[in-house]
Amino acid sequence: MSKSLRILVPVKRVIDYAIKPRINKAGTGVEKTGVKFSMNPFDDIAVEEAVRLREKHKNLVESVHAVSIGPAKAQDILRTALAKGADTCTLIDAKEAELEPLAVAKVLKRVVEAQNANLVILGKQSIDDDCNNTGQMLAGLLNWPQATNAAKIELDAARGRVQVTREVDGGEEIVSAALPMVVTTDLRLNTPRYATLPNLMKAKKKPMEKLTLADFGDVDTQARLQTLKVEEPATRSAGVKVGSVDELVEKLKAAKAI
Ligand code: AMP
């Protein structure tokens, strides 16, 4: 593996993880006005991992390119990715359109080809739609191997392979594949760095390619799903304190719970 690793990191702008989303009046989705948006946390981990791979393997990693499909404001999270160490980025302005994972994966496939990327590191899941689909669909469309839920990523430079440790129920699974490949990140892969103010300032000078969804006019981005209704979970009724185990048993019997 000469200096030949071109990493693509797709990043999504989502409602900040610390915000408790509220359902809109129409009951069709969550309220987005006046709410703080940030980079999807798993994508932040993906950016961090790409930057760490470059720091560790200076001679192998040629470029780290971030891409976001979303509203024009998604440029904020792209600037953050640049401040954290990505070299270049692409904003694909989708206006108000909220693309489903298949449509995102189809557009990302085009970006992979345009960037000649050979390693794509995505978040395992967007915290807004919770789909956990895009990485897998992208790997399928590209016909590349995939390793999802990565807890550790190691480059085997001599063999041109990537080894990924995956967290699975009750343990770890270690898989390895030859490049090109798709990896999705799990929570414990790393702890992302903060974007410092000086780096955010410097990031303003880094290149941002601006495209629109119309530039991918021949890609079918049509929605397949229709949201019928979005509801808050039912509120729990207040509990009561019992004085003894006997009283507890009595109450459970009365409630027909036992
Ligand atoms: P999902 O399948 O929606 O749970 O998303 C999984 C991952 O795909 C995210 O963590 C991102 O890395 C990537 N992704 C999803 N939607 C977008 C988007 N609109 N723009 C860029 N990357 C995205």
CA 85 – CA 235 distance, rounded (Å): 44
The answer to whether the peptide bond before residue 101 is cis (omega within 30 degrees of 0) is: no
Structure tokens at 100: 């489903």
pLDDT of residue 236: 85
Ligand 1 center from residue 254 Cα (angstroms): 49
Look at residue 3 in the predicted model and tell me its pLDDT.
Answer: 64
Q: How many residues comprise the chain?
A: 258
Q: What is the pTM of this model?
A: 0.91
Q: Where are the domains of the chain?
A: 5-254
Tell whether ligand 1 has an atom less than 6 A from the beta carbon of residue 11.
yes
Distances (CA, A) of 224 to 28, 98, 100, 130: 16, 12, 8, 17
Q: Whose CA is nearest to atom 10 of ligand 1?
A: 123
**Beta strand ranges found along the chain (DSSP E):** 5-10, 13-15, 37-39, 61-70, 88-93, 119-123, 146-156, 161-168, 171-178, 181-185, 208-212
Residue type, 136: Q
Residue 132: CB within 6 Å of ligand 1?
yes
Q: What is the pLDDT of residue 240?
A: 87
SS3 state at 108: helix
Q: How far is the CA of 222 from the centre of ligand 1 (A)?
A: 17
10 lines ligand 1 (CB under 6 A): yes
Ligand 1 contact, 101 CB (< 6 A): yes
Ligand 1 atom index nearest CA of 70: 19
- The CA-atom distances, in angstroms, between 75 and each of 39, 81, 91, 138, 227 are 10, 10, 6, 23, 27
Domain 5-254, classified CATH 3.30.470.30, yes or no? no
Give the pLDDT of residue 2.
60
Residue by residue, pLDDT tens for the chain (258 residues) are 566 899 999 999 999 999 999 999 888 889 999 999 999 999 999 999 999 999 999 889 999 999 999 999 999 999 999 999 999 999 999 988 889 999 999 999 999 999 999 999 999 999 999 999 999 999 999 999 999 999 999 998 778 899 999 988 889 999 999 999 999 999 999 999 999 999 999 999 999 999 999 999 899 999 999 889 898 888 888 888 999 999 999 999 998 988
